[in-house]
Structure 1
Amino acid sequence: MKHQTLEELHQVAEVDALFPAMTRRQRLEHWAMLLERNPERCLAAFPGTEYMTLDVRDKAYSLGSALSIAFADPTLCAEGLKNDTYGEAKRFFELTDWQLHAIVCHCHVGGTMKAEWAAVRVRSAIGIEGKLFSKLREAIAHWPVLRIFAHAGE
């Protein structure tokens, strides 16, 4: 059986959903709730996401991570979560790199983290979505200035 999202099914069939799709906030709250079910569970962290190239980061996964908990949930999969990679979690939960980095990267916690800690970070991402500082930090992170300085010495 091939898993398809609701959007993919709409391309080949007329689909009437019995329940409306979850909002971004609902998906994040559901993920946090999953993590809170077993708050002492040790989860694997992702090593150095901020140093990975975009293509490597998007494909990165860590067995037994907070993303694995989300992907093991039938509700989130039915909503369209396709796998437990960094890039898919970023897309599905509508997170910026900085937000997802704060949730899963090892630089904040070491090699493992408690599920309760990850849940707190997921919940913090819910409130960040409209804040000016977050938008500014994300914009600065994508400025080409660093590349200009890197090439100036060549």
Structure 2
Amino acid sequence: MEHKPLDQLRSVADVQPRPLSREERLQRWIDLLETDPKRRLSSLGEIEYKPPAERALLREDDSPLTVAYEDPVLRADGLSSDRLGDAMRYFALSDGQAHYALCSCLSGRTMEAGTCAQRLRNATGNVAWESAVGAWLLAALAVSLPGLVYLLS
């Protein structure tokens, strides 16, 4: 097998990079936010009260969405703007996830980039789900154990 630089391959074939998975997109955005965790970013004003059409067009200068859109890798992969609707489509965020991570009602007019990164991680990861399931299983065990001991003795 002969190895050639990517530039030479492009002259012979249409070489396209593999699209990022949702997890890779989100992780890249989180990593970008965590490069300067104390950076003050503008939150999005009261997302939940906007009609869907207006919500999709919502944007703020120097917001977490701006951080994502400034990244050439995310733009090349398909992030088309720093508007909420485009970001929700690209990162596959639900209304609730976007609200939790980006809305001003939870953070005020500005937030630290590190806080937004942690909210994105919490809203989109399996950590919260796994913790909730674990807590319910532990509670069920604690409630049922005395009854099981009584029945078996």
Q: Give TM-score, length-normalised by structure 2.
A: 0.72
CA–CA distance in structure 1, aligned partners of residues 99 and 73 of structure 2 = 24
Per-residue Cα deviation, 1:104-136 (whole angstroms, up to 9, x for no partner): 1001010100000000011123325xx6xxxxx
1:58 and 1:107 map into 2 onto residues whose CA distance is 18
Q: Please tell me whether Structure 1 or Structure 2 has the larger radius of gyration of its CA atoms.
A: 2
Alignment partner, residue 111 of structure 2: 113
Question: SS of the counterpart of 1:121?
Answer: helix
Aligned to 2:85: 87
* CA–CA distance in structure 1, aligned partners of residues 15 and 56 of structure 2: 32
Q: How many residues align?
A: 118
Aligned residue in 1 for 2:70:
72
| CA–CA separation in structure 1 for the residues paired with 2:72 and 2:44 | 23
**Corresponding residue SS for 1:113:** strand
> Could you tell me whether the CA contact under 8 Å between 2:97 and 2:124 is conserved in 1?
no
Q: Percent identity?
A: 37
Which consecutive unaligned segments of at least 5 residues does structure 1 have?
Answer: 1-13, 132-154
Aligned equivalents of 2:124, 2:28: Cα separation in 1: 11
The answer to whether the Cα contact below 8 Å between 2:69 and 2:81 also exists between their aligned partners in 1 is yes
CA RMSD after TM alignment: 2.1
Normalised by the length of structure 1, the TM-score is 0.72
Find runs of 4+ consecutive structure 1 residues off by over 6 angstroms: none
Query: 2:122 corresponds to which letter in structure 1?
Result: S
Shift of 1:20: 1.3
**Which runs of 5 or more structure 2 residues have no equivalent in the other structure?**
1-12, 130-153
Structure with the largest fraction of helix: 2
Letter in 1 for 2:85: G
Indicate which of 55, 58, 62 corresponds to 1:57: 55
